[in-house]
Chain A
Amino acid sequence: MKLIAALALLLVSTFCAAAPETLMTHSRVRFMAANCAYCHGPDGKSRGSIPSLAGMDKDYFVSRMKAFRDGTRPNTIMSTHASGYTNAEFAALGAWFATHK
């Protein structure tokens, strides 16, 4: 009985364990997208000269981020930020902003 309980606990804790680094969970992407707000505005709607991200086409977002990272589109600040993310994260963020208008 004790063994079963221990096994069950192990299963539960394994199941509930934090998402691995590569998993794009809803809460992870939501926080990642919220990171952009201090420059791009709350919910990706900018109040200033920096472009809004809300409603941006996903493919356009991803291609822009890759261009910033690869240096084919020169822009100091976004080159820095884009270099910190993976392709999977570009795709997840692109999907997020495309659906949050």
Chain B
Amino acid sequence: MAIDRRDFLKATAALGTLGALTGCASLSTARKAGPKVVIVGAGFGGATCARYLKAWDPNIDITLIEANRDFISCPFSNTVLAGMNNLESLTFSYDHLRNIVDSFVQDRVTAIDSVKRRVRTASGLHFDYDRLVLAGGVEFLFDKVPGYTEAAQRTIKHAWKASVEQTGVLRQQLAAIPDGGVFVMSIPRMPFRCPPAPYERACLVANYFKNTKPRAKVIVLDSNPDIVVMKQLFLTAWKKHYGFETANSMIDYRPDNDIHQLDAKKMVVHTNFDDISGDVINIIPPMRAAALTELAGARASDNGHWCPIDYRTFESTIVPNVHVLGDSALSVFPKSGSVANNTGKMCAAALVELLNNRWPDNAPVVTNTCYAASTDHTAFNVAAVFRYDPVAKNMVAELGGSGISKQESELEFSYMESWAKNVWADSLGLPEGYRYTTKF
């Protein structure tokens, strides 16, 4: 093997580094492979966690396991239902993320051994970890809605996880609805993923009807006693744009309406008050933390099926070395894309400290921002700044640092678009100059 001058220089430089390292007796640690973090789920939480973990400590060995081939954004998928965008424009390749992590595995996790610290997948692979991050989002509880059987699910969509089979099919159903037709949608009790989104969906579907079939209607069956967030903003928008509370209202809002029985064949929903027929029925079922968290034993059954965590690290308070992110976590945060994105970073920051034998930050500050569209060109927001209270061991919304828009505006619609482009880039590592195909 010939050695040229450049190789020789590299070799001597390396020797110099070695000499310096032996001085502080950490040679063996320095040369050892980095600590292993396995992240399951590459949504807003898991993808962001992986990206920031690598940026903040390149020595950490990251395996990212994701069941889906592509990332399809749930935020903005209501614009697909309204015919403003197609689903392809909300679909992103994992290629950029693949280049960042040490190992990107497209597979489904089937078992987690939290004692041996080992994860197994459907294709028979296994991965050992020092720290495990579970970012699996939510699991739907179809059996909580009588009649929402597997057969019924073929025609009655939730479109609460964006996909061709869900969002794509519901869009086709809405496109086929006749003028004068009825769209019935049902909202589960809190907590559920993305609290403003059902009310935004009512807005955008009504906006679509207004433009294309003005006699069609939206009936909203809400299991909650009232609109759960930004109530006045939604009510004002419904009145201003969709004739709410007039004889020709395009939106019929019915609080406290639990579904007692779904009849998918007859296309009827039976509630505690009425039997309601729809041309298209959209049922968002109650939900809980992803099934993945149950595999690790991190899902508690006595608190509504979510995963209790330590806010400073997002480590499960039940299973050590297992961290739970995003929608699966039991927390005071709304289950939003913004929170998943930022708590992904928060978990990454804590893991960097823990894996380097330092203490994680004891008083982190973290933010949430949710935009909701009221029409195809106006939007408003709800936002909050949370600060960890080490005494109460809780996240507390800062006084004054929690609020909503005064009114809808076109400016906020453009901010909402900007939020989407930036949160996609931030979570997925999209390069500068990335060309979005979304039409806003």
Give residues in A with beta carbon < 8 Å to B: 16-21, 25, 27-28, 30-32, 34-42, 45-50, 69, 76-77, 79-85, 89
Contact B414 A49 (CB under 8 A): yes
**A80, B419: Cα distance in complex, Å:** 16
Contact B387 A28 (CB under 8 A): no
Select from chain A the residue with minimum beta-carbon distance to B337: A38
**A28, B360: Cα distance in complex, Å:** 9
Q: Please name 22 pairs of A and B residues whose Cβ atoms are closer than 8 Å in the assembled complex, sorted by A.
A: A18-B359, A18-B363, A28-B364, A30-B56, A34-B345, A34-B349, A35-B345, A38-B422, A39-B418, A42-B422, A45-B432, A47-B434, A48-B414, A48-B417, A48-B421, A49-B414, A76-B406, A77-B383, A77-B415, A81-B367, A83-B385, A83-B399
* Min CB gap A66→B, angstroms: 13
Contact A76 B381 (CB under 8 A): yes
Interface residues of B in 384-437 (CB under 8 A from A): 384-387, 390, 398-406, 412, 414-415, 417-423, 425-426, 429-430, 432, 434, 436
Select from chain A the residue with minimum beta-carbon distance to B361: A28
Contact digits for B332-375, partner A, Cβ 8 Å, 1 yes 0 no: 00000110011001100100110000111111111101000000
**A32, B341: Cα distance in complex, Å:** 13
**A48, B429: Cα distance in complex, Å:** 16
Select from chain A the residue with minimum beta-carbon distance to B363: A21
Checking A21, A46, A81 against B422 with a beta-carbon cut-off of 8 angstroms, the contacting residue is A46
B52 adjacent to chain A (CB < 8 Å): yes
- Name the prevailing secondary structure of the B interface residues: mixed
Contact A30 B419 (CB under 8 A): no
Give residues in B with beta carbon < 8 Å to A: 52, 56, 312, 337-338, 341-342, 345-346, 349, 352-353, 358-367, 369, 381, 383-387, 390, 398-406, 412, 414-415, 417-423, 425-426, 429-430, 432, 434, 436
Are A89 and B365 CB-contacts (below 8 A) given A50-B418, A77-B383?
yes
Are A38 and B56 CB-contacts (below 8 A) given A45-B432, A77-B383, A83-B385?
no
Are A84 and B384 CB-contacts (below 8 A) given A35-B342, A50-B422?
yes
Contact A38 B342 (CB under 8 A): yes
**A85, B399: Cα distance in complex, Å:** 10
Q: Which residues of B contact A38 (CB under 8 A)?
A: 337-338, 341-342, 369, 419, 422-423, 426
Query: Most chain-A Cβ atoms within 10 A of its Cβ — which of B338, B387, B418?
Result: B418
Select from chain A the residue with minimum beta-carbon distance to B312: A18
13 new A-B contacts, CB < 8 A, other than A47-B425, A48-B420, A84-B398, are: A17-B362, A31-B346, A37-B341, A38-B341, A38-B342, A42-B425, A50-B422, A76-B403, A80-B384, A80-B402, A81-B367, A83-B398, A85-B385
Q: Which residues of B contact A25 (CB under 8 A)?
A: 361
* Min CB gap A27→B, angstroms: 6
* Min CB gap A93→B, angstroms: 10
Select from chain A the residue with minimum beta-carbon distance to B401: A84
**A70, B435: Cα distance in complex, Å:** 38
Q: Which residues of B contact A42 (CB under 8 A)?
A: 422, 425-426, 429
The 9 A-B pairs of least Cβ separation, nearest first, read A84-B385, A84-B401, A48-B418, A18-B362, A83-B400, A84-B398, A21-B363, A80-B403, A50-B418
**A47, B440: Cα distance in complex, Å:** 14
* Min CB gap B42→A, angstroms: 16
Select from chain A the residue with minimum beta-carbon distance to B357: A16
Are A16 and B398 CB-contacts (below 8 A) given A39-B418, A47-B418, A84-B387?
no
**A79, B430: Cα distance in complex, Å:** 29
